[in-house]
Amino acid sequence: MKRCLFIINPSSGQRTIQNTLDKLIGQLTLRQLINHIDVFYTLKKDDAYFKALNADEQDYDFITVVGGDGTINEVVSGMVASDKKIPLCILAAGTVNDFANYLNLPSNIEGVCNLINNFKTVCCDVGKINERYFMNVAAGGMFSDVSFTVSKADKKRLGPLAYYLNGIANLPSQLNTNINLKIVLDDANILETEAKMFMVTNTNRVGGFENIIPYADIQDGMLDLIVIKKCSVTDLVALSKDYLLKKHANSPFISYVQAKKIEIYSQQKVVIDIDGEEGSPLPVTIEAISQAINILVP
């Protein structure tokens, strides 16, 4: 039997999450998969980060995080910053859950019990942006601020629809976004362009859209950069059609490269979205930290 620390964001997802957790912990105990559980509820930003950072690795066989991409980011950041190698179990309870969906992680009680019983792990890369970390994406420009400008109340009430409604409401200003970028790849190659937006990703899912970054892999030691260049509304519509046909990576309005280190500069004020939370403004240095954390997978 194993010992586990649960780090839970009680404000994530729907109100049914507490009932699910009660049943899950009950099943883990009845099936003799766990004989010791400590539970920690977050109250404010960075609570999950500091709990994961300061938890004594000798006290637990694994850590379970319950929350959305932002809470997962905090726990992963705390574990990587303190070089913890014990596995992380993810129970996604957020609005979009890009990272959990990328790994096909279960959200039902039976699936999570099987996950812990089998105890299979993969060693995943993590992105480091300045002094912060991310599991999924760091983005800037058009629509990148939607995830952290939508209220928690709307996320709970509307789910993913809240993001789409926010984007539609601010469509004119979003479409007028243009950023002058200078991007340095692996201290060598330089890309200078006008862009609508950019994304540096660790997986192929962003904002609920699958395969938006075709070659992303959390175990390749690389980060994937996709830049949507300055273009007209008509060109954006054409780009959307290319995405549906899975050929957007070859569009003339896209720059797509892989690198271990990506520096991004702009003279304009551009605030970065980091796993759905507001990050720091440009400039930023983003690096791939290879095989930084162990994740329980089906």
Token duo for residue 179: 């950023």
Alpha helices (runs of H) in the chain, residue ranges in sequence order: 17-30, 47-54, 69-81, 98-102, 109-118, 146-149, 152-158, 161-169, 171-175, 233-244
Angle at 209 between CA 206 and CA 211, to 5 degrees: 85
- Nearest C-alpha neighbor of 274 from the set 157, 111, 129, 103: 129
**What DSSP state is assigned to residue 57?**
G
* Owner of token pair 């404010």: 44
Q: How far apart are CA 67 and CA 88, in angstroms?
A: 13
Q: How far is CA 86 from CA 53, 219, 250, in A?
A: 13, 18, 40
Q: How far apart are CA 291 and CA 221, in angstroms?
A: 7
- Nearest C-alpha neighbor of 49 from the set 30, 68, 71: 71
Q: How far is CA 168 from CA 164, 270, 296, in A?
A: 6, 21, 37
Residues marked active site are found at 277
